[in-house]
Amino acid sequence: MAFAPFFPSPSPSPAGDRRQVRPMRLVSALVGGGLPLVSLMAPALAVPALPDPAPVSAPSPRSAVVLDAAGLATPMAVPAFNPGALQPPTPAEAKAIAKEAWLYAYAPLQGYQTLWNQTQNPAFPGYVGGFNRFRHYSRSATPADTDIVTPNNDTPYSWAWLDLRAEPIVLELPAVAAPRYYVNQWFDLYTHNFAYTGVRASGRQAGRYLFVGPHWHGVVPPGITGVFRAETDFIGTLTRTQLNGPGDVAALQAIQAQYKLIPLSTYTHTTPPPVAPAVAWPTWDGKTAEGIGFIGYLNALLPFMPTVPSEQAMRARFARIGIGAGLPFDPARLDPATRAAIETGVAEAAQEIKAKALAQSSSKGFFGTREELGSEYLTYRAMGAMLGIYGNSSAEAFYATQQKGPDGQVLDGRRRWLLRFPAGQLPPVSEFWSITMYTLPQRLLSPNPINRYSIGDRTPGLRYGADGSLEIYLQAENPGPAKAANWLPAPAGPFFFVARLYGPKPAVLSGAWTLPALVEVR
């Protein structure tokens, strides 16, 4: 989980790939404040409507399966977009549409920030190196790690982004012995968690899983354990593998090295399909995305996000303010009243979702599939992206947080705080739990003199009460020798923390167990 700040401020082809890349046609526009934005134009790329996803049954490893209308329906064509045929919106309509569209776009654009940095920005410390490859980390995160906000300090990450346009990708996983925990969380461009593999979801045995894009209809070869169809052409994984101290690094690395991504044609030893057109991804600029310029970024992503039937009317509304797959966007060309209305709608949407997010105390309902998020999925996924982009679905991990004290003020490390778990009320989990400290507004790990960034049931030397209770001290000042074992250092200023419960038990998911409230020690 990565708790995102409100608006945080050409990749090489895979090794051995000697095929030629054909560029897409581009147009340039000025987006907000005179900043250049290159928007995608893909005249040959239709925007199909994809039926809402249905579960895909795992094929038998001994027989090939043809993906067809049985659970994997063919995308439906959508008429070509004609801006001139649209009725211009009134200022009131433009404002309302902008509010809805900004909410719709918030999570995808926060996700795009990560995609762009990791696949297109070699200067970025967390650069992965392109698509269809893993980058593994074999140590726990520190304050120097700024790939995403609110990084977890429990399980080193393995990142990958897949391009599914040309052909599917096979994920090959090793057998992983108990008690080590690992999970491959898979998300699409909407940030929906559409697939899981790992200890909870698929077990500890080895397996091969086929990831296919929304337009692919082919034969699933023998030996495939399961198939996952994505709603979008590009997907990502935030894979987490448990590290049990410095002496465990070599064993961790040996497991990570066995996470493999294999193009389907390589797996089947067949001729590769034609390479998908190269994409000129627009350079990420947080200030541009914060305002009316979000439309340019959304338009650049939409060619890879086929319209689902439930969103056809919504996409049609968005088109009235210039939103459409691959369309250039220049706010300077808007009628002044329309532009002002859109900007007002954007500002109101941002203010409203920030207020809602700050009032939350857990992640329940904010991460998952489109269906799991329910009818309020736009609000929930936006709050999830704002509070912690790429958080796990609740069945995998449960997140709880406190951002304010009993007086309604943001937590401050210059005050002394106590988190007390009464006897018998420790977090009920099947795996493990932790509490991690973050700075505000940066939402990064907090530097401290003992280099402790999280505390939990695996922390060496943790002291429990005689009755089994546990007290954790959250403050900037060392609480003294008698309490230092249970000290989670806070910055000398604003902070918040996240409790992570891996393998939450039913009491957590039902709400019967809740995180105790902080108490100030005076």
β pairing state of 487-489 and 470-475? parallel
**Spatial strand order in the sheet of 429-439:** 397-402, 495-504, 429-439, 454-456
Could you write out the DSSP letters of every residue in 221-264?
A: PTT--EEEE-SSSEEEEEEEE---SGGGHHHHHHHHTT-EEEEH
- Inter-helix orientation angle 336-358/91-120, to 10°: 60
- Tell me the one-letter amino acid at 173: L
Query: Would you say how long the chain is, in residues?
Result: 522
- pLDDT at residue 85 in the model: 54
| pLDDT of the chain, 522 residues: tens digit per residue | 443 333 233 333 333 332 333 333 222 222 222 222 222 222 222 223 333 333 333 343 333 333 332 233 333 344 444 445 568 899 999 999 999 999 999 999 999 999 999 999 999 989 999 999 999 999 888 998 887 778 888 899 999 999 999 999 999 999 999 999 999 999 999 999 999 999 999 999 999 999 999 999 999 999 999 999 999 999 999 999 999 888 999 999 999 999 999 999 999 999 999 999 999 899 999 999 999 999 999 999 999 999 999 999 999 999 999 999 999 999 999 999 999 999 999 999 999 988 888 777 666 778 888 988 888 888 889 888 887 788 888 899 998 988 899 999 999 999 999 999 999 999 999 999 999 999 999 999 999 999 999 999 999 999 999 999 999 999 999 999 999 999 999 999 999 999 999 999 999 999 999 999 999 998
Q: Where are the alpha helices (DSSP H) in 302-335?
A: 312-319
Q: Among 443, 435, 453, which Cα is nearest to 502's?
A: 435
Is the domain spanning 396-520 CATH 2.60.120.1600? The answer is yes
- pLDDT at residue 356 in the model: 85
pTM: 0.78
User: For residue 16, what are the β-bridge partners?
Assistant: none
Name the token pair of 24: 């897409």
Per 3-state DSSP, the chain is made up of helix, strand and coil in percentages (nearest 5) of: 25, 25, 50
Domain ranges across the chain: 396-520
- pLDDT at residue 358 in the model: 75
Name the token pair of 377: 């999925």
CA–CA separation, 76 vs 448, rounded Å?
Answer: 55
Q: Which residues contact 193 (CB under 8 A, 6 or more apart)?
A: 185, 186, 187, 367, 368, 369, 392, 393
